[in-house]
Amino acid sequence: MSVFARSPADRVIVVGAGVAGLATALRLAPRPVTLITAAPLGSGTATGWAQGGIAAAVGADDAPHLHAADTEAAGAGLTEPDVALRVAQAGPGLVDWLVGLGTGFDRDGEGALALGLEAAHGRRRIVRAKGDSTGRTVLDALVRVVQATPSIEVLVAGLHGLLQDGDGQVRGVICERDGASFRLPARAVVLATGGLGGLYASTTNPRGALGRGLLAAARAGAALRDLEFVQFHPTAIAAGRDPMPLATEALRGEGAVLIDENGERIMAGVAGGDLAPRDVVARGIFQALARGRTVFLDARGSLGARMPTRFPTVAALCAEAGIDPALQPIPVRPAAHYHMGGILVDAAGRSTVPGLWACGEVASTGLHGANRLASNSLLEALAFAPRIAESIGDAPASSEADRPPTLPEIRAEDPQTLAEVRGLMERHVGVVRDEAGLMQAVSRLTDLAERGSDAAQTGLIIARSALDRRESRGAHWRSDYPGQLAPRHAVTTLASSDAPRAVQELTDA
């Protein structure tokens, strides 16, 4: 049956074909699902680039409460403890689910799952595949199962907006394909559109990661939370590529160290050293670069020699850049990597707008807080997918939108404007921020947004949120406000994003 022939009373639309979208579509089976993807299945998604793995407390010396505690510690006071524990408890079962779907995780000599160590984890709990190709391996397994599931139909199209009825309930999507726009009604919509690293000049994300799902939800009136928290991966390979290739954090877990051009340790004297939380390491590298130093990830010797088998993805990326990691240190710098903020959702993935759910990086679930713990992103998407499916199954059926949509459509970006947006975000809404820079970004992004740039509109609400948070916490670091206030979430809507305000006070963790 064609996607256009399916009854909107039955159809669920899932937008995005990374781990969040694919897992949600599978969990919804046998309910009819239309999976909308901007690129052919298996391509154009950040999931395929995920190197590290999936954090899960499966080791003999580990337990979900220990995983949850590490998650809270990394989240800098904004991780919600009940969410962290619930997701950590789901981890082992989710790994089993993926194994059951045919995912080939790495094993040790006795056949048990091989477990890696990453920064801020107190135990070896990173389940990996093909060394550092976990994302690609998981993605390929999910794609195979989706393609074999009769209830899921795939539509390659771009998201332009959300359909809403007179009461504001989401009733479907507006899409674009082959230059033509069309409406696709549905009983429910799940946004699994990923992040917004493409708004930054230096990023490890696909260039198309511009926060379009976030903006579509905002235009529909959805509440957004903690938008200022953008995680910068400390060790993107500085080899002149855009997007920047990534040197997985697991390299430091296996003994690689950060040094400058003189061989001095970058993280010397810092608690946790090279395995400190990502925000700490990113700032350490950023500050070294600002002082004119060059930063390298040093894996020379036995680790570098083992990289083709233990870290084949990084080894190949280094080879493309003319670097032999066994003999040469790898030049690195921070790059926009993951958005902790997003569409505010509840424990079932429901947004504040009826008929709209969100899963994965585009959502703010309460798990990551101000700084995501390494390898918790794939886990979060997998953990919320079945909850979303169950919630949608309990929701009443809807009918087609009863009036034409009034939401503005998402337009194609002018390349010059996008380049300017990326430069503004990099300079003023990056690793270290201050009021003067943020105000400059807000002023220019406002102008570009008024001229019709959706990238500028998305960047603007992030910049305004960063300007409003007058403290330093996790991935949000204000050089003019280095101290911390009482932990708080900041919730806003597009209509009120000129003055985001704290709406929830949390006790100190």
**pLDDT in 10s for each residue of the chain, 509 residues:** 455 555 667 899 999 999 999 999 999 999 999 999 999 998 878 887 777 799 999 999 999 999 999 999 999 999 999 999 999 999 999 999 999 999 999 999 899 999 998 888 999 999 999 888 898 999 999 999 999 999 999 999 999 899 999 899 999 999 988 877 889 999 999 999 999 999 999 999 999 999 999 999 999 999 999 999 999 999 999 999 999 999 988 899 899 999 999 999 999 999 999 998 888 999 999 999 999 999 999 999 999 999 999 999 899 999 999 999 999 999 999 999 999 999 999 999 999 999 999 999 999 999 999 999 989 999 999 999 999 999 998 766 655 555 555 444 556 789 999 999 999 999 999 999 999 999 999 999 999 999 999 999 999 999 999 999 999 999 999 999 999 999 999 999 998 765 433 333 333 33
Question: How are strands ordered across the β-sheet holding 180-185?
Answer: 158-164, 170-177, 180-185
Strand spans (E) along 16-88:
33-37, 54-55
Q: What is the DSSP string of 143-212?
A: HHHHHT-TTEEEEE-EEEEEEE-TT--EEEEEEEETTEEEEEE-SEEEE-----GGGSSSBSS-TT-S-H
pLDDT at 52: 78
The whole-angstrom separation of Cα 292 and Cα 294 is 7
What φ, ψ does residue 469 adopt, rounded to 5°? -85, 100
Amino acid at 3: V
14's enclosing H/E stretch is strand 12-15
What φ, ψ does residue 404 adopt, rounded to 5°? -60, 145
Amino acid at 381: A
> Angle at Cα 211 formed by Cα 206 and Cα 212, nearest 5°?
105
CB 200 within 8 A of CB 463: no
CB 294 within 8 A of CB 259: no
Tokens representing residue 465 in the block? 């949120």
Tokens representing residue 124 in the block? 């070896």
Which position has the token pair 């300079």?
A: 427
The whole-angstrom separation of Cα 326 and Cα 335 is 24
Which position has the token pair 């500085």?
A: 238
The whole-angstrom separation of Cα 146 and Cα 152 is 7
pLDDT at 34: 97
pLDDT at 507: 31
Torsion angle (degrees, nearest 10) of CA 425, 426, 432, 437: -50
Residues constituting the chain: 509
Q: Is 266 helix (H, G, I), strand (E, B) or coil?
A: coil
Cα distances (Å, whole numbers) of residue 143 to 138, 147, 389, 504: 9, 6, 18, 39
Candidates 136, 278, 469, 473; catalytic one:
278
Evaluated on CA atoms 145, 150, 155, 161, the torsion sign reads negative
Residue 491, Cβ density class (10 Å: 0-12 exposed, 13-18 middle, ≥19 buried): buried
Asked whether the bond before 404 is cis by omega within 30 degrees of 0, the reply is: no
pLDDT at 505: 34
Percent helix, strand, coil in the chain, to 5, is 35, 20, 45
pLDDT at 339: 97
Q: Is 122 helix (H, G, I), strand (E, B) or coil?
A: coil
Residue 206's region, left for phi above 0, alpha for psi from -120 to 50, else beta, is: beta
pLDDT at 122: 94
Q: Is 21 helix (H, G, I), strand (E, B) or coil?
A: helix
pLDDT at 508: 32
The whole-angstrom separation of Cα 231 and Cα 414 is 26
Q: Strand 501-505 and strand 488-492: pairing? A: antiparallel
Tokens representing residue 386 in the block? 């079945």
Q: Does 187 qualify as catalytic in the annotation?
A: no
The whole-angstrom separation of Cα 48 and Cα 359 is 17
